[in-house]
């Protein structure tokens, strides 16, 4: 669905490369391929001739890194970041990668995820004399590394990571090496690739396709990679881990051409649609998906049900970054600018409208209304995930139950609110089976916290009111 309107947003994407003379240009294309993970800010830090230099700014990748600015960027290694800003976390000072210049070394840091005990760690560090220059939880690791008390960077990083709770995919770079770390649950996706003799790291495998890199493997939960001119080394900084990949990566966040744990995202979404047909077969004339993530699901439902798939909703690709407006009338206009119903497809028809999730319900209600105003005789809403009843503390901006329509309303009550003729959510069991992750256990290595309330890590008391996330 339209992420900026529906209120479900991933916070960022990371990209890194070590050992390539065109590191800046490759990082630019890598970040561009990850633009869907964050449209509010972008940055990169490069290593060249024993020095780190950076450039960052608010805006899209093409806006921050213009052709003129790219002429001045060069190096044989780089880390980059794209970011979506949530309440309390905006401003230039929070744009990553962060670049720290110490007396003896320089260090750059990029992060995807959310540290759930960041407030506690900040309080401890400030009591010890640390001064924070941003409101992002990412900066916590930099202070922990600096205070680590070990002579080598790897040991200081491992020591710092041992204090963190939550979701994190970190890229850390100095003048001589790059370190890559994924949290013990593997909540966020992170993969390793190779381009010629250079190693590439990316939040999604679609970035490898764009830059011409070959996928090697996914980074393992609790794994630390050290990459330098001598090659690559891997070790575990946590010996025991419980896989809990964010399920919304498959349902909504990741690009359909990405693979996670060997599963193509588009294929997973088609399978979710097929499972919806098993659980709820509706008598209808056409099936249409809410762009973009709903399209793959709608195709799967259409194939399994035999109801024709049609493009009943069209997304306007040229609106730009016009986010939620302050008045109800402007919000309504914002939806119409970004999405249009195709009257010739839906008029007089019983329409199955397929989407990935319902968060607050406001946008879903507007789309149902839009279809009916275009002449749809009936609108039946199918959702390729269970009701989102619980907030996420791992890097998605739903931090309180009050924001979630399903936390206080039954399915029938939600149906009445959005004005649909019927409403069906996919079951938890059906969703897990349809995605088909190749791991054992009831959850198949997925985090289901937003659906079930069972969180894979400790959740700290003040997280309900926390608004500062990476």
What are the catalytic residues?
12
Cα–Cα dist 385/363, whole Å: 17
Sign of the C-alpha dihedral computed for residues 258, 169, 59 and 107 taken in this order: negative
What tokens appear for 183 in the block? 């949290």
SS3 of residue 154 by DSSP: helix
CA distances from 75 to 23, 45, 47, 54, 190 (A): 6, 9, 5, 11, 23
Tokens 């894979």 belong to: 456
SS3 of residue 400 by DSSP: coil
Map 302-358 to HEC letters: HHHHCCCECCCEEECCCCCCCCCCCCHHHHHHHHHHHEEECHHHHCCCEEEEEECCC
What tokens appear for 158 in the block? 């491992």
What tokens appear for 296 in the block? 């793959």
Q: How many CB atoms lie within 10 A of CB 398?
A: 21
What tokens appear for 173 in the block? 């770079």
E-assigned strand segments in 174-229: 178-182, 191-195, 198-202, 214-218, 223-228
SS3 of residue 52 by DSSP: strand
Beta-bridge mates of residue 83: 12, 41
């Amino acid at each position: 669905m339209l992420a900026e309107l529906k209120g479900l947003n991933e916070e960022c994407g990371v990209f890194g490369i070590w050992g390539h003379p065109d590191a800046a240009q490759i990082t630019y294309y890598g970040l561009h391929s990850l633009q869907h993970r964050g449209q509010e800010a972008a940055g990169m830090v490069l290593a060249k001739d024993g020095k780190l230099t950076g450039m960052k700014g608010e805006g899209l990748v093409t806006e921050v890194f213009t052709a003129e600015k790219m002429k001045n960027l060069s190096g044989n290694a780089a880390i980059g970041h794209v970011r979506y800003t949530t309440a309390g976390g905006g401003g230039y000072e929070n744009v990553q990668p962060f670049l720290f210049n110490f007396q003896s070394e320089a260090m750059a840091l990029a992060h995807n995820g959310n540290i759930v005990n960041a407030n506690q760690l900040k309080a401890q560090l400030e009591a010890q004399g640390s001064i924070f220059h941003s409101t992002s939880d990412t900066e916590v690791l930099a202070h922990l590394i600096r205070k680590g008390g070990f002579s080598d960077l790897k040991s200081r990083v491992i020591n710092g990571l041992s204090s963190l709770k939550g979701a994190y995919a970190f890229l850390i770079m100095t003048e001589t090496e790059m370190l890559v770390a994924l949290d013990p649950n593997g909540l966020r996706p992170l993969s390793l690739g190779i381009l010629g003799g250079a190693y590439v790291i990316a939040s999604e495998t679609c970035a490898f396709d764009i830059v011409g890199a070959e996928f090697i493997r996914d980074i393992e939960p609790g794994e630390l990679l050290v990459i330098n001119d001598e090659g690559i080394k891997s070790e575990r900084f946590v010996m025991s881990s419980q896989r809990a990949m964010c399920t919304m990566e498959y349902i909504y966040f990741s690009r359909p051409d990405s693979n996670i744990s060997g599963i193509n995202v588009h294929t997973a979404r088609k399978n979710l649609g097929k499972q919806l047909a098993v659980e709820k077969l509706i008598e209808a004339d056409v099936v249409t998906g809410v762009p973009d993530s709903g399209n793959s699901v709608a195709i799967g439902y259409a194939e399994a049900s035999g109801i024709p798939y049609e493009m009943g909703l069209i997304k306007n690709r040229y609106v730009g970054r016009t986010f939620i407006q302050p008045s109800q009338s402007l919000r309504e206009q914002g939806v119409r600018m970004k999405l249009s119903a195709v009257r010739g497809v839906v008029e007089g028809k019983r329409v199955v409208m397929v989407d990935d999730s319902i968060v607050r319900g406001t946008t879903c209600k507007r789309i149902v209304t839009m279809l009916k105003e275009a002449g749809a005789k009936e609108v039946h809403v199918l959702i390729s995930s269970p009701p989102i009843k619980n907030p996420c503390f791992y890097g998605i901006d739903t931090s309180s139950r009050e924001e979630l329509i399903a936390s206080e309303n039954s399915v029938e009550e939600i149906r009445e609110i959005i004005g649909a003729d019927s409403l069906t959510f996919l079951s938890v069991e059906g969703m897990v089976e349809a995605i088909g992750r190749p791991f054992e256990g009831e959850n198949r290595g997925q985090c289901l916290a937003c659906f079930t309330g069972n969180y894979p890590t400790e959740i700290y008391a003040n997280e309900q009111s926390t608004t500062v996330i990476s």
